[in-house]
Structure 1
Amino acid sequence: MLHHPSVAVGDAVPQILRQWLQALRTCFTAPSWEHVLVLVMGALLAPGKRTVSSCLRMTGRAAAANFASYHQILNRACWSPRAVARRLLGLVVERLVPDGPIVIGMDDTIERRWRRRISARGIYRDPVRSSHGHFVKASGLRWLSFMVLTPVPWTSLVKALPVLTLLAPSERSDHQRGRRHKLLTDWARQGALQLCRWLPGRRIIFVGDSSFAVHELAHAITARATLISRLRLDASLFAPPPKRTTRTLGRPAQKGPALPKLKTLLSNPATTWARIIVSAWYGHGDGKTLEITSDTALWYRPGTPVMPIRWVLVRDPDGKSPPQAFFSTDITLEPADVIALFVRRWQIEVTFAETRVHLGVETQRQWSDKAIARTTPALLGLYSLVSLWACDLLTSTTTPYAAAWYRKTSLTFSDAIGAVRLAIWIGDINQHSPPNRERQNIPPERILRMAQALCFAT
């Protein structure tokens, strides 16, 4: 048998991981790049908390004397998270959306943190524990994430792949630092315009919930992209202004007469409804039948110009779901397309949940401003990288963990990260017959780390 000599300060980074991350190489200096490879390898393999120390242990570097250098990658090293985000966006678009419109969902999430030294921390409504009649507060950081909503080859589902994540400091934090507080929609406007500059010449569709149904945001991005969001049932909608003639006096009118509120159309027997089947409606994997009605109008709010929109009113013929309204700033979109694009954003919550379960978001323990601003976006970006790498390891018909009592109809992110971890654990150990007759065995140190990963998995 051929035994590989052990590495003094830890196991070597597998060549396959170096190949996967090669596209990000130019974003880091040569010394930092080797430390980045180790941290990424540890973040993928470590169970439980994703602290720097746990990453070093899982890569066999618990006795490394230069452990502080790995911490400095996050809190001190000179590299730009925006440059990494731009390169990640290019990878996702090139691999999964080479042509056609790019659908980007935007949503915020609360990373629960309680340490007083975290300056950007605030008190927010906990979206998970709260309900319509019960309000629960949570202490933590507010993140706004932009995710590409697209199908991936190894699953039949649409995945939300984070490409740009921004920290939105609390109002208390901005006040203490003497800075003007930015609302969530201000960060959304800046992030959306940044993505438009990174994707010149491509058609972009931004999808957000009711938090982003704001006139200022719609006007800011309409010149370069389309916005799809929810619409209030009592929104102020108007008809186009009448055409001017030679006898018309005064300034040109911005809007015509007011249109009936959308909520009045629900009880109006003259409203014409059309039935459609939405395949990805929440809780209905086999499709959901809905009744819709749609038209174009001018959306108006005092103090801002009118916005031409296509509104879509949706009701459940079974009466199990309350009626909802959506709008698109692109009035040429078909009503069914507006609904189909909006329901993609429901995968954003799945991504937030899976990053907490599989990538340890909320378990990191940094408290310096720079480390905090880098760590969570890095973990969310790692979700997208794993989804891309799984395209090389899995297919839609692959069943890596099939059992006689459980047959999966569609692969999930747990299958993707499992396949990536297996490729990293195996590393340079051949899974098939090597070209020579010498056998290659897994080094004892790596077997020990595999056992530790199993023993301390929870």
Structure 2
Amino acid sequence: MAIDRGAACCSPVRLEHGTPSEVVHSDLGRVRPALFHAVWPQVQRLVIGAILSPGKRTVTAALRVLGLADDPRFGTFHRLLSRARWSSLQASRVLLSLLLAAFVPSGPLILGLDDTIERRTGKKISARGIYRDPVRSSQGHFVKAGGLRWLSLMLLTPIPWANRIWALPFLTALVPSQRYHEERGHRHKTLTDWARQMLRVVQRWCPGRQLIVVADSAYAVIRWLADLQQGRPITVITRLRLDAALYEPAPERQAGQKGRPKMKGQRLPALAAVANAADTCWQRVRLTRWYGETLREVDLVSQTAIWYHPGKPPLPLRWVLIRDPQGQFSTQALLCTDLLLSPVQILESFVQRWQLEVTFEEVRAHLGVETQRQWTDLAIARTTPALLGLFSLVTLMAHERWHGHDVWVRRAAWYDKTLPTFVDAFAEVRRA
């Protein structure tokens, strides 16, 4: 879908020193404590330039749209990303606080966790690796992609004026390959290691708030899930294999019993057998949110169990089997580390995970992810998380402008939509 760039994107918009755009100043100004005052004017100009730039999101494109193509101090803006001392982690914390204040002031936080590949080429990009392309690959066809792998945490929250769930990125980390660490003599951190560290950081940022994380099957790892249940537990909802080894809880230890305590009880039937059994009692429920639909009926059956493999800690979980009465998708299973959540709550939370894929597509189509051209390590580690965070910042700006006002929706003769999408919020911020 094309973006209504408006007249502001067709001609340079010169910003005098000390006169930042008011729409940016309202929300971006609250991020200022995370940055040093010496670079604050350049930060504001780069953000405005990134919003107004069509196509590529390079530093030179941002300067050109601001009318600063003849400024001999252009190197200052490049050094903002490659050398300047400021904390992107602290900026992520402030961005999260703004999102919580605007959309989720209380209650549990539902977070989406997923990784994506930024396709980049160049010998000077040291963290570049070869990974499986999740978009082009399928079960029978494996496609490799070269680039940078990013792990992103997003806040899944209803947007009042959009009447739907959006995934708002606030914390993104670069996850280099094992070869990258081996060449430098570093200890390799897997994808789940990075995910554990990021979730514990968010838990420290939000004391007293329950965290519910939805992720795909790559995070269905027993040891990782068990680690997140230590101390202050973090609830995780993800997919579960139909042939997973599930057991009854371990029986209580009897007085005078010798030997080590048992870690599990009797083996339970595989979920594939439960799904095909004639005596399985399915419960039909109607969901108000589904993939591209507002109402959908599905059949559910759920129970608690222990997931166990030798050499790994036993993991108590609640599993949920999902069957489609219409036969449009195959039977699948979910797991949840919180035994008290109902099957409907688990399924409704997991369905929201699809919004992460929508956000990844939006930032590529409208915010220029994969078009930046930095090659220094520090600039690479800062630019892509900043562009993902810009998605959330634009949403905050549109939310502030549309609070108590009519929402502007872009329509076409062939596309009569009634509710705004991100492209409408982006156009509103651009017009401002």
Displacement after TM superposition at 1:339 (Å): 0.2
User: Shift in Å at residue 9 of structure 1?
Assistant: 6.8
The corresponding residue for 1:409 is: 418
Question: Which one is further off, 324-333 or 6-15?
Answer: 6-15
Indicate how the Cα distance of structure 1 residues 11 and 403 shifts in structure 2: closer, same or farther if over 3 A, else same: farther
Distance 2:368 2:14 in 1: 27
Match of 2:368 among 341, 347, 360: 360
Alignment of 1:29-428 (within 5 A): 29-223=36-230, 224=232, 225-246=234-255, 248-283=257-292, 285-394=293-402, 398-402=407-411, 406-423=415-432
Query: In 1, Cα distance between the equivalents of 2:297 and 2:190?
Result: 37
The Cα of 1:221 is off from its aligned counterpart by: 1.6
Q: Which amino acid aligns with 1:191?
A: M
- Cα distance between partner residues in 1 of 2:294 and 2:102: 28
Query: Cα deviations across residues 240-298 of structure 1 (Å, max 9, x unaligned)?
Result: 12233335333221111011000001111111100112232224x13221111000011
TM-score of the aligned structures, taking structure 2 as reference length = 0.93
Take 1:405 and 1:323, find their aligned partners in 2: how far apart are those partners? 36
1:64 offset after TM fit, Å? 0.6
Give the letter aligned to residue 354 of structure 1: E
CA contact (8 A) 1:294 1:335 kept: yes
- Distance verdict in 2 for CA 1:397–1:214, change over 3 Å: farther
1:405 deviates by 6.1
For the aligned residues, what is the CA RMSD? 1.7
Q: CA deviation at 1:175?
A: 1.5
**1:161 to 1:154, Cα distance in 2 relative to 1, 3 A:** same
SS in 1 for 2:297: strand
Moved more, 313-322 or 358-367: 313-322
Local SS of the residue matching 1:21: helix
Identity, % of aligned positions: 50
How far is 1:358 from its partner? 0.8
Match of 2:30 in 1: 23
Paired residue total: 417
Deviation at 1:128, TM superposition (A): 1.6
Q: Which residue number in structure 2 is paired with residue 438 of structure 1?
A: none
**Greater C-alpha radius of gyration:** 1
How far off is 1:153 after superposition?
A: 1.9
- Whole-angstrom CA distance in 2 between matches of 1:245 and 1:16: 68
**C-alpha distance in structure 2 between counterparts of 1:397 and 1:273, whole Å:** 44
- 1:393 deviation in Å? 2.0
Distance 2:14 2:175 in 1: 42
The offset of 1:350, in angstroms, is 0.2
Q: What SS does the corresponding residue of 1:138 show, helix, strand or coil? A: strand
SS in 2 for 1:280: coil
SS in 1 for 2:228: helix
Task: Indicate conservation of the 8 Å contact 2:35/2:91, yes or no.
Answer: no
Which ranges in structure 1 are unaligned for 5 or more consecutive residues? 1-5, 424-458
